[in-house]
Amino acid sequence: MRSPFVIPCTFALCLLTASCAPQVATNPRERGDSMVSHGFYDAAIYHYTRAVTADPNDWQAYSGRARARSHMIDLDQSPADKPGADFPGALADSDRAIALHPEVPQLYLNRGVIRAATGQLNDALADMDYAAKLNPTDGLTHGYRGFVLLRMRRDAEAQAEFNRCEQLAPASRRVLPRYIQHIKQIRGT
């Protein structure tokens, strides 16, 4: 004879297992975030587009779609390193995110990175200056400002920004020299 506790215990085990399992993103923006983090940019764009269609004021979805469209470009890369990226679309999404939520410094920093990677160094520096004004204690912002200044051949100013970055974010000491060297190679010195 079967114990009357087998079914309830099995059900409880299923509930416990389900509650401990990793959660799957349920809304389009979260799915887009997940896709970007795994490098599936086209899928991310699809989910972010669904998010902004459902809520045209979802500034985080526009920001995420900008990152996906730029294929998460960084300052030591060029557009040639990211074939298939849509930089005009990324900039348009960055502009929209900023229009919806202008007090978020990360939005200006992200747009600045896209602008710098596409050669718009003065505009990139202006974005990063504004991000630093909004959050002067963010070491990452100062590091990125340093990279842009370095690409503009304003080495003394760049070094001051790198020093500020190291003060605010001591862990950056491990990675800054490698990036600085690579950017100097890019600019030909």
Which tens digits make up the pLDDT trace of 70-88? 988 877 777 888 888 899 9
Q: From the DSSP assignment, how many helices (H) and strands (E) are in the chain?
A: 10, 0
CA distance 113 to 128: 8
Considering only residues 47 and 179, tell me which one the structure prediction assigns the higher pLDDT: 47
Q: What string of DSSP letters covers 87-144?
A: HHHHHHHHHHHHHH-TT-HHHHHHHHHHHHHTT-HHHHHHHHHHHHHH-TT-HHHHHH
Of 93, 162, 151, the C-alpha closest to 121 is: 151
pLDDT in tens, 157-183: 999 999 999 999 888 888 788 778 877
In CATH, the number for domain 27-187 is: 1.25.40.10
Per-residue pLDDT at 55: 97
Average pLDDT over residues 37-58: 95
17: pLDDT strictly greater than 60: no
pLDDT band at 18 (very low <50, low <70, confident <90, very high): very low
Residue ranges per domain, the chain?
27-187
pLDDT band at 24 (very low <50, low <70, confident <90, very high): low
pLDDT band at 14 (very low <50, low <70, confident <90, very high): very low
pLDDT band at 109 (very low <50, low <70, confident <90, very high): very high
Per-residue pLDDT at 72: 83
Within 8 A by CB and 6+ apart from 135, the residues are 105, 141
